[in-house]
Amino acid sequence: MFLKKKIIKSTNDYWDSLKELKEQIENADAIIIGAGAGLSTSAGLEYGGKRFYDNFSDFAEKYGLQDMYSAGFYPFETLKEYWGYWSRHIYLNRYQAIPNRVYDDLLSLVKDKDYFVLTTNVDHCFQKAGFDKKRLFYTQGDYGLFQCSKACHQKTYDNEEQIKAMIETQKDMKIPLELIPYCPHCGAPMTVNLRVDGTFVQDEGWYNASERYNEFLRNHDNDHILFLELGVGNNTPAIIKYPFWNMTSKNKNTVYACINYSEIYYPDQIKKRTISIQNDIKQVLVDLLSVQL
Ligand SMILES: [Zn+2]
């Protein structure tokens, strides 16, 4: 019997929920992790505050930018400045080490289980932490890939070398002209492989991962599945949150668990099979690892 625990009223409630969740992790036939931006925020990849000003004080001063969410949409005047910004954004969030152990702790909890990860995060943290690449579907792209801005062909390109060169050579927020990347097919400027509009390129790796995810779901049809939702916000609920609710509702053997720093909500019809923990994911994972059954 799983009780609805919307708000942590006492320490006991919190530890009871953790125990229930640990039992589910141990006993489920399969675990499907759905991870959103909140997981990487908890991992120390904050997009605002000190981390933003430490790295982008020049952009903040010139354009009044306040965080990496909105800065990513800023219409910079030249491609030299556009890549001056983006190379730093990508380097910081994709090529530097993850600031803390959140992803490692998550892996310790599921590494011996039959798991799959569905994520809207584009920062490559799951791969960096050592999650099995065959058990991972990152639906919204990857900072580490370039694509044609006109999507003239469905291919992506590793950008590590180019991004690092941009970081090393930029001056006054601009990269040198010769480092601006252009499409090898049509000559249009390259862009980062992120789903922001209809020009998002879904390359072969994307389709393979999508197929593996669907196969995983088919193989576990009617099994005891734990849907473990971590830090999913309200920007794109149709990718993780709504399908998780829907599948939980349809299969009575499943349990839906949601860990989020913000308020947690879910449909009434699944509340008996919902475990909700409103707290920092980092702390919850540390505590979960300490729970003895
Ligand atoms: Zn092109």
Per-domain residue ranges of the chain: 4-42+101-128+202-290, 49-97+142-194
> How far is ligand 1, taken at its centre, from the CA of residue 190, in Å?
8
- Cα of 193 from ligand 1 centre, angstroms: 13
Average pLDDT over residues 165-178: 98
On whether 152 is known to bind a ligand per the annotation, the reply is yes
Q: Is 258 annotated as a binding residue?
A: no
Write out the residues surrounding ion ligand 1, Cβ under 5 A.
148, 152, 183, 185-186, 188
Asked if 123 and 143 count as a contact pair (C-beta separation under 8 A), the reply is yes
Reported confidence tier of residue 235, pLDDT bands at 50, 70, 90: confident
Residue 64 has φ and ψ, to the nearest 5°, of: 75, 20
**% helix / strand / coil in the chain, to the nearest 5?**
45, 15, 40
CATH topology of domain 49-97+142-194: SIR2/SIRT2 'Small Domain' (3.30.1600)
Task: Answer with the residue of higher pLDDT: 197 or 58.
Answer: 58
Cβ of 52: how many Cβ atoms within 10 Å? 21
**What confidence category does residue 68 fall into, taking pLDDT thresholds of 50, 70 and 90?**
very high
Higher-pLDDT residue of 4 and 195 is 195
Sign of CA dihedral 194, 195, 199, 203: positive
How many angstroms separate the CA atoms of 126 and 134, rounded?
11
CB atoms under 10 Å from CB of 175, counted, come to: 27
**186: annotated binding-site residue?**
yes
Quick one: tokens of 13?
A: 């409630």
Cα angle at 182 between 176 and 184, to 5 degrees? 140
Specify the CATH superfamily of domain 4-42+101-128+202-290: TPP-binding domain (3.40.50.1220)
Instruction: Categorize the per-residue pLDDT at 263 as very low, low, confident or very high, splitting at 50, 70 and 90.
Output: confident
**Average pLDDT value for residue range 126-141:** 97
Q: Is the pLDDT of residue 287 over 80?
A: yes
